């Protein structure tokens, strides 16, 4: 730093600050980010002394991608505005998707109900009471055809939050495309397909780790050949954060999961320079504005170095961390729900300033129920106001060079690297999960947060401060999914089972069984064949359950 006056000016400032402190103490003894990173009173050029711009920060579209993955970012095109939705049956959800598309959403994101996510048909005893509650009920291709009725799959990209049975839902999507006359190679979208965070934080696992990793890498292999534009996985920190982790843990555990997937695919003989291009990520946008912006930048830089240095990739596209963001559901409050609109705005702005490729903004009523049409519209409008009115999209990574942002970016990267090293020393993420390590870390952070809220050390506006007496929630109109939805869906399923060609279904289910027993077979084409003749999701997953067994939760408290 060649700045003659700097030291003198800084000494003067520190002197002034000391005097001010003697008069009045600061609001708190220590300041930290929401994720617990200590914050200094002031960051200045010394905070980032020694940074070599080109190698460390660099230019957008170039390694290490700190400033973004594309050379023009939002000046070229905005992020995809992708609202996660789905409820009741395929009919209701199709209507909601068309409502969203009419209002300017630019990509679909399917929420499935819990039986679908856990591979049970709606009439399975374990599915009782859950049909259509947290997402749409899909039992077979027949439901999927209705879900995408009049939605052209060559024009819209679709993200599906589906993990353990991802292969089955992807197969259904391919079949709907075929029926619409869309070539499989032209489909674009994403399946979440991230089982490790299910074991760690989200809970919709089915099979044990080994066959689960096989299904995932079967999909990598199949998609590499058949659907080159498909994101084969969305490695998700979102749910890790929702379960209570800090920002550093979110980055660390997500990238450690990523490392485990790359290693599994390499073991199968796949080339990281090829499949690496189709790995995508999914992060949370939490409350601490500066920390979140730094988090995305740190994650990008760290993943680039992992892919380059650790896995030796040469293809820059395989080093780019492309990601979807969702605002943090856990920060929404049932009290004074209008305040959630403001929270979501700040969180979404952080995601945009952090260079997200795709964004979901939560609706104000989601602390209580699935959102109504009206509240979803406001959530989408929030993104549009940021995109079209705020001006932050007109120059790339505008907060780069901010001493605070660059310093936080460095600290999050370093903190995440420490965790990844610990996990490496345990033998990788699978071994760490078996030991309960990330689960315990997440829970400890969640419990600390709860204690901080109860002691009011952490303020939640409208909840532990600035409360109002009247009940806001009771008067609101909430979306309800009633029990008749389950009856209707079971009726459809019974009809399907009596009308389809059951001989072909049985044969193809047996082929899946044989494929499951042969480690060298790729299950994806076999599942596709079964889906095509209307084998149900529960039947396919049922065969795989018989062959693979089921995961037993490692309870950590």
Partner 1 sequence: MSESGKKIRVVIAKPGLDGHDRGAKVIARALRDAGMEVIYTGLRQTPEQIVTTAIQEDADGIGISILSGAHQFYFKRVIDLLKEKNASDILVFGGGVIPEDDIPGLLEMGAGAIFGPGAPTSSAIEWLEKTVAAKIN
CB of 244 to partner 1, least distance (A): 5
Site for partner 1 in 234-253 (CB under 8 A): 242-244
Nearer to partner 1, 114 or 523 (CB): 114
Nearer to partner 1, 177 or 244 (CB): 244
Nearer to partner 1, 78 or 120 (CB): 120
Nearer to partner 1, 116 or 356 (CB): 116
The rounded distance, in Å, linking the Cα atoms of 120 and 138 is 10
Please tell me whether residue 276 binds partner 1 under the rule CB under 8 A: no
- Alpha carbon separation from 92 to 158, 159, 187, 221, 407 (Å, rounded): 17, 18, 24, 34, 47
Per DSSP, the residues of 486-535 read HHHHHHHHHHHHHHS-HHHHHHHHHHHHHHHH-TTS-HHHHHHHHHHTT-
Please tell me whether residue 478 binds partner 1 under the rule CB under 8 A: yes
Site for partner 1 in 341-370 (CB under 8 A): 367-370
Run of H or E residues at 431:
helix 429-435
Site for partner 1 in 319-338 (CB under 8 A): 330, 332-335
Span interacting with partner 1, options 10-18, 128-136, 153-161, 400-408, rule CB under 8 A: 128-136
Asked if residue 80 lies in contact with residue 384, where contact means CB atoms within 8 angstroms, the answer is no
Nearest to 230 by CA among 181, 183, 269, 296: 183
Edge-to-edge strands, sheet with 230-231: 230-231, 189-191, 158-160, 107-110, 80-85, 358-360, 323-327, 279-285, 233-236
Please tell me whether residue 61 binds partner 1 under the rule CB under 8 A: no
Please tell me whether residue 481 binds partner 1 under the rule CB under 8 A: yes
The rounded distance, in Å, linking the Cα atoms of 180 and 234 is 26
CB of 187 to partner 1, least distance (A): 28
Angle at 80 between CA 119 and CA 406, to 5 degrees: 105
The rounded distance, in Å, linking the Cα atoms of 404 and 45 is 10
Nearer to partner 1, 385 or 483 (CB): 483
Structure tokens at 228: 């080159």
CB of 548 to partner 1, least distance (A): 17
Please tell me whether residue 446 binds partner 1 under the rule CB under 8 A: yes
The rounded distance, in Å, linking the Cα atoms of 20 and 15 is 9
Nearest to 138 by CA among 188, 100, 93, 203: 93
Q: How many CA atoms lie within 13 A of 306 on its CB side?
A: 27
The rounded distance, in Å, linking the Cα atoms of 474 and 461 is 19
CB of 400 to partner 1, least distance (A): 34
Asked if residue 299 lies in contact with residue 415, where contact means CB atoms within 8 angstroms, the answer is no
Nearer to partner 1, 88 or 509 (CB): 88
Please tell me whether residue 318 binds partner 1 under the rule CB under 8 A: no
Structure tokens at 260: 């485990």
Please tell me whether residue 496 binds partner 1 under the rule CB under 8 A: no
Burial of 314 (0-12, 13-18, 19+ CB in 10 A): exposed
Please tell me whether residue 458 binds partner 1 under the rule CB under 8 A: no
CB of 130 to partner 1, least distance (A): 5
Binding mask 287-316 for partner 1 (x = CB under 8 A): ------------------------------
Q: Pick from 45, 104, 129, 427: which binds partner 1 (CB under 8 A)?
A: 129
The count of chain residues that interact with partner 1, using the rule CB under 8 A, is 46
CB of 369 to partner 1, least distance (A): 6
Q: Pick from 107, 115, 258, 354: which binds partner 1 (CB under 8 A)?
A: 115
Please tell me whether residue 474 binds partner 1 under the rule CB under 8 A: yes
Q: How many CA atoms lie within 13 A of 402 on its CB side?
A: 16
Q: Pick from 81, 100, 110, 118: which binds partner 1 (CB under 8 A)?
A: 118
Nearer to partner 1, 55 or 125 (CB): 125
Site for partner 1 in 176-215 (CB under 8 A): 198, 202-204
Burial of 319 (0-12, 13-18, 19+ CB in 10 A): buried
Residues interacting with partner 1, by CB under 8 A?
A: 114-115, 117-118, 120, 126-130, 133-134, 198, 202-204, 242-244, 330, 332-335, 367-370, 443, 446-447, 450, 453-454, 460, 463-464, 471, 473-474, 478, 481, 483, 553, 555, 557
């Amino acid at each position: 730093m060649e700045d003659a006056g700097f030291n003198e000016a800084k000494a003067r400032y520190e002197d002034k600050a000391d005097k001010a402190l003697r008069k009045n103490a600061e609001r708190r003894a220590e300041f930290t980010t929401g994720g617990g990173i200590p914050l200094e009173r002031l960051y200045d050029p010394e905070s980032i002394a020694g940074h070599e711009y080109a190698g460390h920060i660099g230019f957008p579209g170039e390694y290490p991608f700190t400033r973004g993955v594309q050379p023009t970012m939002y000046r070229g095109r905005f992020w995809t505005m992708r609202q996660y939705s789905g409820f009741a049956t395929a009919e209701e959800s199709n209507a909601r998707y068309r409502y969203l598309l009419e209002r300017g959403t630019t990509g679909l994101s399917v929420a499935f109900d819990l039986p679908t996510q856990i591979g049970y048909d709606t009439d399975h005893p374990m599915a009782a009471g859950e049909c259509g509650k947290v997402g749409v009920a899909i039992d077979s291709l027949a439901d999927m055809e209705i879900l995408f009725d009049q939605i052209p799959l060559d024009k819209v990209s679709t993200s599906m939050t589906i993990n353990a049975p991802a292969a089955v839902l992807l197969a259904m999507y391919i079949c709907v495309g075929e029926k619409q006359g869309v070539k499989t190679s032209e489909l674009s979208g994403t399946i979440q397909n991230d089982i490790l965070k299910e074991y760690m934080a989200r809970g919709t696992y089915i099979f044990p780790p080994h066959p689960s990793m096989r299904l995932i890498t079967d999909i990598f292999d199949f998609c590499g050949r058949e659907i080159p534009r498909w994101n084969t996985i969305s490695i998700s920190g979102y749910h890790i954060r929702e379960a209570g982790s800090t920002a550093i843990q979110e980055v660390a555990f997500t990238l450690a999961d990523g490392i485990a997937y790359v290693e599994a695919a390499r073991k199968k003989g796949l080339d990281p320079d090829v499949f690496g291009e189709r790995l995508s990520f999914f992060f949370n946008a939490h409350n601490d504005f500066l920390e979140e912006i730094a988090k995305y930048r740190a994650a990008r830089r760290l993943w680039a170095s992992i892919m380059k240095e650790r896995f030796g990739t040469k293809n820059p596209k395989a080093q780019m961390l492309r990601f979807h963001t969702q605002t943090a559901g856990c920060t929404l409050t049932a009290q004074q729900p209008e305040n959630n609109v403001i929270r979501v705005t700040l969180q979404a702005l952080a995601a945009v300033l952090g260079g997200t490729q795709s964004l979901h903004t939560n609706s104000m009523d989601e602390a209580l129920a699935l959102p109504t049409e009206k509240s979803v519209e406001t959530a989408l409008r929030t993104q549009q106001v940021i995109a079209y009115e705020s001006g932050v999209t007109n120059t790339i990574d505008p907060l780069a060079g901010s001493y605070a942002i660059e310093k936080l970016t460095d600290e999050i990267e370093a903190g995440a690297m420490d965790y990844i090293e610990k996990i490496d020393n345990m033998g990788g993420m699978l071994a760490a999960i078996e030991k309960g390590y990330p689960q315990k870390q997440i829970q400890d952070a969640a419990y600390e947060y709860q204690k901080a809220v109860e002691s009011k050390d952490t303020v939640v506006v409208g909840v532990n401060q600035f409360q109002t007496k009247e009940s806001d929630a009771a008067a609101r109109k909430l979306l309800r999914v009633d029990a008749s939805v389950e009856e209707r869906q079971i009726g459809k399923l019974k009809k399907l089972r009596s009308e389809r060609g059951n001989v072909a279904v049985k044969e193809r289910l047996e082929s899946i069984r044989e494929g499951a027993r042969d480690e060298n077979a790729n299950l994806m084409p076999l599942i596709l064949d079964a889906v095509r003749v209307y084998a149900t999701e529960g039947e396919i997953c049922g065969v795989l359950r018989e062959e693979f067994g089921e995961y037993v939760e490692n309870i950590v408290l």
